[in-house]
Amino acid sequence: MTPHAIPTILATERRKALLAEADAYRAVRQARLQRDPGHRSRPRRMFHRVAVRTLRIRPIRVADAAALRAAFDRLSTESRRQRFLAMKNGLTDSELRYFTDVDHHDHEALVAVSRLTGRGVGVARYVRNPGAPDTADLAVTVVDAWQGRGVGTALVRALTGRARCEGIRALTALMSFDNVRARQLLTAVPGTARLVERDGTTLAYEVELAVAPVTSSRKRRGVLHEATAGC
């Protein structure tokens, strides 16, 4: 054996050892999955909880107009279409006034703001239906980078508390038929969602709000809620 061959042999043996360790790890992981199929989802749920803890949920303000426009600019084309049920390139000044200058009774909007960056990452709002004042239309928007991380759920739960305080017994929601996230988000509303109308590519749902549990906590699931501390 020549001296030059020794490094090659050592490298080959090291590679074999690493491959053996990888095979052993995969075998142990597969066995764990068979014993407990749900363990793989726990790290993802933990990630959701940690992400949501960095947020602050509060009522929207007129001064949030610029932040709302910036958040809209961070939405993908698909997210904009699903939110407005049409292609939309931007928000006009009058739309920004409508979305931010709310009365917090017939029209409420809550924003989720990152406590780390101060940027808005989502908004949920209800607008009371004039023809049925004990119902209101629900809409939720979360910037793409934060979708799937529990932000929409936290917003909907906070908004539901505000809706109850203002005498609303049911929430309605109109969405695109392909908006899977929106349909899943309805499960965060305390009540049973039912499909009330299907019109072409849109679906209309109604959720009759369940009776709220008695609670004195101002913190829910680690998220600071300024808007749900009382009616």
Shortest CA distance to 49 belongs to which of 130, 199, 154, 204?
Answer: 154
How much is the pLDDT for 219? 46
Shortest CA distance to 114 belongs to which of 75, 170, 71?
Answer: 71
How much is the pLDDT for 122? 97
Enter the pTM of the model.
Answer: 0.73
Q: How far is CA 137 from CA 23, 121, 173, 191, 216, in A?
A: 54, 21, 6, 15, 27
How much is the pLDDT for 227? 63
Shortest CA distance to 173 belongs to which of 208, 123, 211?
Answer: 208
For 31-80, the pLDDT digits (tens) are 655 665 554 444 445 445 546 678 999 999 999 999 999 999 999 999 99
195 Rama sector, left if φ>0, alpha if ψ -120 to 50, beta otherwise: beta
- List the structure tokens of 160: 């539901």
Architecture of domain 45-225: 3-Layer(aba) Sandwich (3.40)
